[in-house]
Structure 1
């Protein structure tokens, strides 16, 4: 839509977790380093927590992409599964072929054999579970039992839990205290601070092909931070809408007003005043569509 207007190869502020846009802020780089050190240590559970929209899924994918050939990774994006189904999902990630009606004993035996086979090839297996706050307690316990499998030197399976802060409350329950005790590394992923935001915007614009000067005015940056609280997903949503507004007006720079209108149109932001601006956004988005259609 607005890419050619601003000299971009692609949309810079998509909410899809594309690892080419991974921003190495102090927080995200420290979290990634924690994951890499923990994975190479070969011990137990690893936990990453963060509020909604702070970039846990992107961090997870970057972590998987950064691991070397000595690792085999399994990724389960939605672990709201009862124990047997979760084990079947793990077996699928490990490329196991199982009978349709495989019983629990044979399922666990097959997973164990596969883990031992990979260990014999000097491969470390890392299972990453996104949205881990949704895992049922009995499934967490099943995972803990799997991590009992080990050689004389290291675990056959490491598990990384990526979840919202509610995950901490689950782990405080007495019934899974043994699992909580096995979390050897953990990190809480926070929002960007105001200083990081300028670099974040410049980084994503550069990756998307922007070679010009300042695209977001200083007032726009301040308003982005005020409306988003530094949450990357909200920053992306607001920045994308603000670029659409600037494009619709034929402007080459995003202003504070553009961000204000975008924030008013976004339910999740801190802004909840000036309802009349919603109509303004709709009109400008319509203008974007007309301009785009005329320039095709």
Structure 2
């Protein structure tokens, strides 16, 4: 629709997991290295987790694309099944006949198939996607499949792929044996702010024109704050921005345009849910420096409230210093943070007023004054 206007050969922000658009963030590079090592070394169990839209399927497709001819794959994507259905899907994807056969027959034929593949020098791999939906009983069933082995090596290599809930499920006491068999474990983390900008330009470049649009740093920061670094959400925002810019016949993505698109997306789709609205505006959505300064302010206040008065004035000075830095770095749109800063400023002012009042009214020796302030602070 808009490719010709932006001198692109294809749409840059489609949601299909196309390996050609794979962006190697630090986390993705690590995951690919681990997966490649695990497959080459024939590690029995490999675990890959990540949030929805973090790029798990894209990495898997890239992995499958690079596997040699000796690898024989079975991929299971429907995990809301019974034990018998699960084994039937594994066998069917390996090319075995499953119609009218019971569980024991399916297992026997799978074992015979794996032995035959081993004799041929092939490497059977089972990929179980959306594994967080498997019940503990089915996860145990998957573990039992890994018992198919010779004296020298496993007959079947298993890759479990799922959302972070999968890691929690694996910590159940009844899955201790499965947990102990996982030889490679990697988790895909969201992109950071810099990676978000690089990701957007990478996809534009793969699509034919890295400079198709102008993206000021402020626009990338808004995209990052809303998407939380999740590639799928970045793609959704990116596609809407391209359509909106095309409609206005402009190649400049303004801050106002990004705000408008993000606002409409959240209103229509509510990606994060009402319970997460406050989290979007939290310090985690800010730059690391601003978040660090807020932590320092909270720490200083804690010392004032719970510590001795000897550090009182020094902490007030520290707070004033960091508050000045924070005031210059916090986005006015983050109302939750604005409210927190205002509350801190009011508390600092109250404490300073109390200190000044005590210094005027209490006329005692310095050591007695300190003792009196300590008593006031603890009361």
* TM-score category (smaller protein): 0.7 to 0.9
Measure the CA separation in 1 of the matches of 2:40 and 2:213: 41
Gaps of 5+ in 2: 282-332, 334-379
Identify the residue that residue 20 of structure 2 maps to in structure 1. Answer: 20
Measure the CA separation in 2 of the matches of 1:80 and 1:64: 24
Using structure 1 for the length normalisation, give the TM-score: 0.87
Measure the CA separation in 2 of the matches of 1:58 and 1:84: 29
Higher CA-based Rg:
2
Identify the residue that residue 106 of structure 2 maps to in structure 1. Answer: 107
Q: SS at the partner of 2:5?
A: helix
Change in 2 beyond 3 A, CA 1:215/1:68: farther
Using structure 2 for the length normalisation, give the TM-score: 0.69
Identify the residue that residue 186 of structure 1 maps to in structure 2. Answer: 185
> More helix per residue: 1 or 2?
2
Give the Å deviation of 1:214: 5.0
In the alignment of these two chains, the number of paired residues is 272
Measure the CA separation in 1 of the matches of 2:128 and 2:259: 36
Identify the residue that residue 41 of structure 2 maps to in structure 1. Answer: 41
C-alpha deviations, 1:14-40, integer Å up to 9, x for none? 111111111111111110110110111
Gaps of 5+ in 1: 275-296
Q: Is the aligned partner of 1:216 residue 2:219?
A: no
Identify the residue that residue 241 of structure 2 maps to in structure 1. Answer: 242
* Runs of 4+ with >3 A deviation: 211-215, 269-272
Measure the CA separation in 1 of the matches of 2:80 and 2:38: 25
Q: Which is bigger in relative contact order (C-alpha 8 A, separation at least 6)?
A: 1
Identify the residue that residue 292 of structure 1 maps to in structure 2. Answer: none
C-alpha deviations, 1:41-88, integer Å up to 9, x for none? 112211111112211111121121122222112211222221110101
C-alpha deviations, 1:103-134, integer Å up to 9, x for none? 21111111111111111111111111111100
Identify the residue that residue 268 of structure 1 maps to in structure 2. Answer: 271
Q: Residue 204 of structure 2 contacts residue 211 of structure 2 at CA under 8 Å; is this kept in 1?
A: no
Change in 2 beyond 3 A, CA 1:195/1:189: same
Measure the CA separation in 2 of the matches of 1:141 and 1:212: 51
Give the Å deviation of 1:213: 5.9
